[in-house]
Amino acid sequence: MFEKFENRLSELAGLSIESIEPEDDSCWITLSDGARIYAGYWRLICLKEDNFSSFDHQQKYGLAAPIDAVGNLISSIGKQKILMAKTDRETGDLELAFENRAKLQIFNFTGNEAWEVEFPDGISQLSNYLKK
């Protein structure tokens, strides 16, 4: 089952992000072929910018204004092309690498549905399938 999902996930390479729809600190990411990814808990690793995560969203950390982590996510990877999509077999985290060299890690550290991938053919997979 893991290999089948990993193969489907790898087919996301070459697609572009069409939109990122926020839901508080989480978001739905829609791709150019209609596939969608729900990211409940995530971190974006950027080369030239500070890294940030869903846990930073609306935190002040002594700054003048709260951090808009989802807005930063949209401006960092919105419309970017995916170069690689894979699952970490040990943790069940998703990792997407983009043409601007950013990496989005979508965490699976609960036994619940921390992420979901919906493929255009209607097949979907929840993060907790790895726990079974």
Q: Can you say whether residue 62 is alpha, beta or left, with left for phi > 0 and alpha for psi between -120 and 50 degrees?
A: left
Burial class of residue 22, CB neighbours in 10 A (0-12, 13-18, 19+): middle
Runs of H (alpha helix) within the chain: 2-10, 69-77
pLDDT at residue 111, as a whole number: 65
Dist CA 128 CA 44 (whole Å): 22
Question: What's at 14, amino acid-wise?
Answer: G
Phi, psi (5° rounding) for residue 115?
Answer: -145, 160
Question: What's at 82, amino acid-wise?
Answer: I
Q: Is the pLDDT of residue 128 over 80?
A: no
Are 39 and 96 spatial neighbours (Cβ–Cβ below 8 Å)?
A: no
Task: Please indicate whether residue 45 or residue 89 has the higher confidence score (pLDDT).
Answer: 45
pLDDT in tens, 55-76: 888 788 888 888 888 888 899 9
**Whole-model pTM?**
0.89
